[in-house]
Structure 1
Amino acid sequence: MMNIAIMGQKLVRSSLLLFFTAALAGCGGPAASPPAAKPPLEGARIGGPFTLTDQNGKTVKDSDFAGKYRLVYFGYSFCPDICPVDLQKLMRGLSQFEKADAARGAKVAPLFITVDPARDTPEALKPFVARYHPRLLGLTGTPEQIAAVAKAYVVTYHKVEGSAPDRYLMAHSQLAFLMDPDGKPLALVPLDDPSTDPDEGAPDKVAAELAKWVK
């Protein structure tokens, strides 16, 4: 009974608040809009210039995306589980956002940057990124180039030796960044536990995060 009473009081307070807000708007003009939320990564020292190579062998620079939002994920194509699931969630979320708002969706450039340049040649990346989204760019480079861009994005990675020289894994930060049209960080795009079903909620969260920040 106590819970029902408390709920009733909350409903009454909510109704009164809505009534007085409407009354004030009617008497004194439109109600003031709430202040816009600040991007959670605003001012963070993340990102920076880079020169890499895409899955078609073309040189790509960060300046090529001037005026575009960038959805950036670091991983590697030989990853047995986490990277494919993360990319599936991210790209399905982007596709949902594009479907809901094609104009804003077109402003987002999705980028996959490898942390395994030894194996992730353009030839290896091309079929890999094609699985996830038609506009997804797979970027590779020399070990030095990859180290520099990972450092700029505060991403860490290292090799975990396997049963053979070419059967190693790459441990790396599991992060997806949304960058603004000037290349400044806006937010981390949500990635759920990799064991969860990619269809269960995560793409919706990605789409909602993009809708929140992409203007």
Structure 2
Amino acid sequence: MNNSKTSRTRWTAPRIAVVVLILAAALSWSGYRLSVKFGGSVSTQGNEIGGSYRLVALGEGNVTEGDFRGSWVMVWFFDTHCPKTLCGPVLKSMSDAKKALASEGIKTAPLAITLDPLHDESEELKKYALTLGDHVVPLTGSPSMIEQVAKEFHAPNELVKGDDGTSYHVPAPRIVIMDPQGRYAGTIESTAGTEALVTGIHQFAHRG
């Protein structure tokens, strides 16, 4: 009897180990597939504002916060139904700030993230953003990822109606600035203009 019990014990342990490995592999694969389909989870990485993300750069595929390391990153949220008189100047000031700082050898990445990924088709988003700010990088993503990223960057999630009756998301009142190491540096009012953006990034750089 003891030999029988010992034999069963010897066989049971390997079987359990195999089952555990199979389950682990299945869970890992499922997690990978969900990540590919819906984007990875957002992590604050210790930042008061901002964090990690995976979004879609139009025509260039997925990008993460790591793709912008080495640059001062300007992050702003809007959607393409926003009146151009309201959102246009912000996109232009971000684009012009990039050009001005580039002339000084300072690398920047002005990111314009849509708050309405279900309705902002790629071509529409590209046409809207790049027409108003040709150096801006328009970004979109899955609805769940956009929602998480907006929360991490403290962007509003509120719909309003314009004068023509069209609803649009309230654009972020501030542009979030992340330093070249991916850390939160500060914010600048979205309506402040090009000069304020350039000055603000200079100040953040000297403070660091």
Q: Tell me whether 1:155 sits opposite 2:155 in the alignment.
A: yes
What SS class does the counterpart of residue 110 from structure 2 fall into?
A: strand
Of 42, 52, 56, which residue of structure 1 is paired with 2:55?
Answer: 52
1:150/1:188 CA distance change after superposition, 3 Å: same
Count of residue correspondences: 160
8 Å Cα contact 2:79-2:120 kept in structure 1: yes
Gaps of 5+ in 2: 1-45
Higher relative contact order (CA 8 A, sep 6+): 1
Distance 1:118 1:172 in 2: 17
Give the whole-Å Cα distance in 1 for the aligned partners of 2:191 and 2:168: 21
Per the TM alignment, residue 94 of structure 1 is displaced from its structure 2 partner at its CA by: 2.8
1:82 to 81, 86, 95: 86
1:37-72 deviations in whole A, cap 9, x for unaligned? xxxxxx851111111111215111112112222111
TM-score (norm: length of structure 2)? 0.67
Q: Is the 8 A contact 2:172 2:190 kept in 1?
A: no
**Unpaired runs of at least 5, structure 1:** 1-42, 194-201
* Equivalent position to 2:197, from 195, 198, 206: 206
* Identity, % of aligned positions: 26
Q: Structure 1 CA distance, aligned partners of 2:187 and 2:196?
A: 11
Counterpart position of 1:95: 99
Amino acid at match of 2:53: F
Pick closer, same or farther for the CA change 1:95–1:149 going to 2, 3 Å. Answer: same
Q: Give RMSD over aligned pairs.
A: 2.6
Q: Which residue of 1 aligns with 2:184?
A: 185
Contact 2:158 2:170 in 1 (8 A): yes
Say whether the 8 Å CA contact 1:94–1:206 is kept in structure 2. Answer: no
